[in-house]
Amino acid sequence: MKNTTYMILIAALVFTNLGCKKFLNVTPIEAQSGNNFWKTREDVEGFTNGIYSRLRSKVAGTPQFFNGDDRAFFPALEIRGNNVVTTGSMDNDGVATFTALSGNNMKSIVNSTGRYNGMMKNIMNWKEWYDVVAASNILYFEIDKVPGSSLPEADKKRYKAEAVFLRNLSYMFICKLFGDAIYYTDAYHSDPLPRTSQVTVMNKCIADMTAVKDDLPAFYNDASSNGFRPTKASAVALLMHLNMWAAAWDTGVKTPYYEAVAKLATELDTYSVYKLLPITPANTLRIFKGRSSENLFGILQDVNYGEGFSLPSGFSYYFSHYPYQGTVSKASSFMAYLKEYITKLYPAGGSDARLSTWFENFDSQSTTFQFKKFANTYTTGSGSAIYVTSDDSAIIFRLPDCYLLTAEALAELGQESEARDYANRVTAAANAPLIIQSGQDLKDEIYKERCRELIGEGHFFFDLVRTKRVVNSDFTKAPMSVANLNAGAWTWPLTITAAERSANPHLIANNFWN
């Protein structure tokens, strides 16, 4: 708890003392920078913890008992355009908001109000991502001021590489959410800039991350850091995502991106500490706690350390009920997957440990639907007043994701045997049928395997858009036309305030949603 209090104080100091100008044309984050601060390892670690606190706040908020800072970031990424149905038991404006989101009706969300609607609008604001970028740039710039007697050169390089990872992770999410981004890497940036093509941004991030990847550790001696601070394997995962997103939008030759992913997969295999875990209830708990051999990077939630998320930030809040979420009397889930979708993903007659381990009443399409993938919990109260809350971490990158991206890249390169080999590492761990298809059927099956394996983790809409399957009703219940896709219907509306426009006249929103 003392550590948590220290991190909150650091975050407050780091992120509240801003210049009078706002947003990207700004003198950012002045507190704890300069020669008076950068003296010891503890100073550096405190500032770095402040960046992670900001990242956690963006995607997970804070517990309701703290200040009611609710977020729904990863659930929203999973629900948008997905084959889900809401139930009448959902409170406040939840039914209307998530019905609109699953139908890709973003204009309805923009024009409405309410608790859940407000969480969606929080996603439409990219300022907090740029707070992470700005702080990461400062960390990279100021680290050299720490005396060598306090921080050896190898540690300075590691912190610099960590700063690069965090800013590139932020740029990845900015581009996946909004398309073109305002890109900068200099500390204390103040010049107003226009948005840059997302392909250009991705390529800059790829070069940036590649240059410092080897300065990250293969793993940490402090086991508590593994899975939650970046390693070489974390950088590999990020680079795979950057390359595959760039390939989706680059109108030129895509082969170099796919080849880069294949090469990164070969490197990933050299890090023997990482391996897939067979799908069992016990392993599921380990994976989504966040420190298993599958975990490459995530954001910690652990009640034992005082690290909590807001209730709506967890997927189980929507798709689970008691004993995985809520009070003893909560016998209804707020949402369920459509029966047709789940039975298509997990065909009848085939074995798949994910279906038997992660679901109850999987085909009910009703309030009895129970999603058990996120099953780490803690309880408060007693007797009939018991309340069960998710204690799973937010997992951003894990090993099956990387293997399936590799399979996808290899299939695009025509290396089908190798593609099947990587994909079947994942099916084997799930005791699921091996992938044997070829051609377009192989590509579709790899995509469906991502849906099966990563269900609920926040990849669905990004994958739908990246692979352009968002125009195909076989893969989404809310397909968009090719014309609308090209016009930016896949993006999130971008909120830009009048003050931000005044500070940076180059800023433009996503015109499709205007």
What percentage of the chain exceeds 90 in pLDDT? 81
For 288-334, how does the pLDDT look when each residue is reduced to its tens digit (9 = 90+)? 999 999 999 999 999 888 889 999 999 999 999 999 999 998 999 99
Q: Report the sign of the C-alpha dihedral through residues 467, 468, 469, 470, in that order.
A: positive
Integer Cα distance of 326 and 89 in angstroms: 13
Cα 86 off chain centre by: 23
DSSP string, 32-86: T-STTTTTSHHHHHHHHHHHHHHHHHHHH---TTTT-----HHHHHHHTT-SEEE
For 182-205, how does the pLDDT look when each residue is reduced to its tens digit (9 = 90+)? 999 999 998 999 999 999 999 999
Instruction: Give residue limits of the domains in the chain.
Output: 41-303+395-513
Two tokens at 485? Answer: 């896709």
Mean per-residue pLDDT over the chain, rounded: 91
Integer Cα distance of 451 and 231 in angstroms: 26
Residue 172: the pLDDT is: 98
Check whether 503 has a pLDDT greater than 90. Answer: no
pTM here is 0.93
Integer Cα distance of 315 and 232 in angstroms: 28
Q: What is the CATH number of domain 41-303+395-513?
A: 1.25.40.390
Residue type, 398: R
Cis check: omega of the bond before 281, within 30 degrees of 0 = no
**For tokens 């009397």, what's the residue?**
329
For 55-113, how does the pLDDT look when each residue is reduced to its tens digit (9 = 90+)? 999 999 988 655 678 999 999 999 999 999 998 788 889 999 999 999 999 999 999 99
For 26-52, how does the pLDDT look when each residue is reduced to its tens digit (9 = 90+)? 333 444 445 567 899 999 999 999 999
Two tokens at 442? Answer: 């192989």
Q: Report the sign of the C-alpha dihedral through residues 263, 246, 129, 471, in that order.
A: negative
Phi-psi group of 84: left, alpha or beta (phi > 0 → left; psi -120 to 50 → alpha; rest → beta): beta
Class of residue 35 by CB neighbours under 10 A (exposed 0-12, middle 13-18, buried 19+)? exposed
- SS3 state at 183: coil
Residue 383: the pLDDT is: 85
Cβ partners under 8 Å of residue 440, min gap 6: none
